[in-house]
Structure formats: C-alpha cells, structure tokens
Amino acid sequence: MRYAERKMRFSYFLIGLTSVVAQIVLVRELMEAFNGNEISLGLMLAAWLLWTAVGSGLVGRLFADAARPALLLAGLQIAVAAALPLTILAVRTGREALHFAAW
C-alpha cells in the first residue's frame, strides 16, 4: 500500500472517530437539556439517523466527482471541528429559547 493511501485511510478513521465522539457529546448534551425523557430521546435518535443518512449521501456524491479528495476530506474535518462547539452552544441556549420546563 502506498504512503498516500495509508494517510487517507488514517484520515477516514480520524474523521469517523471525531464524528462518533461528537455525536456522543451531543446526545449527552441533549439528554441533559431536555431531561432525557423517552420522547426527546426518540426524536434525537431519529434526527441523528436522518442527518447521518443525508450527510453520507451528499458527501458520497462529492467524493465521487472530486478531483482532490484529500483536500475535500481536510475541509470536512475542519467543518466538523467548527460545527461541534456551535452545536453545543445551540443546545445549551435552546432550552431557554424554547421555554422548555421539566414536569
């Protein structure tokens, strides 16, 4: 296996690991914000599956036609790094914005 292929495989592994960690952190934040009841947990998992499918479909099409897939992958890693703190901030402020109260 060539050196460039090994680097790309490591990059694929790294973005997968980063995504899994980000999803775990996000689900924990959402459970804390909405008291972890069954409805909110079901909605979180449904949204998770939906957006994972949408993201996989779009990124798969981008990679199929990309002239420089390594550059695209680097951009995706930067986007994940930028999106996670913004998403956590949105979750933490979302409870107050939605006026969600525990029963």
CA distance 58 to 60: 5
Handedness of CA 65, 13, 78, 7 (dihedral sign): negative
pLDDT of residue 61: 82
Q: Does 82 map to a domain?
A: yes
pLDDT of residue 45: 85
| Residue range(s) defining the domain that contains residue 60 | 3-94
Which of these, 26, 24, 25, 40, lies nearest to 100 by C-alpha position?
40
pLDDT of residue 14: 86
Yes or no: say if 84 and 25 are a contact pair by the CB < 8 Å rule.
Answer: yes
pLDDT of residue 35: 78
Q: Does 42 map to a domain?
A: yes
Residues of the chain with pLDDT under 70: 99-103
Q: Does 102 map to a domain?
A: no
Q: Does 59 map to a domain?
A: yes
Q: Does 36 map to a domain?
A: yes
Q: Does 103 map to a domain?
A: no
CA distance 73 to 71: 5
Model pLDDT for residues 14-24, shown as the tens digit of each residue: 888 888 888 88
Domain count, the chain: 1
pLDDT of residue 101: 59
- In this prediction the pTM is 0.70
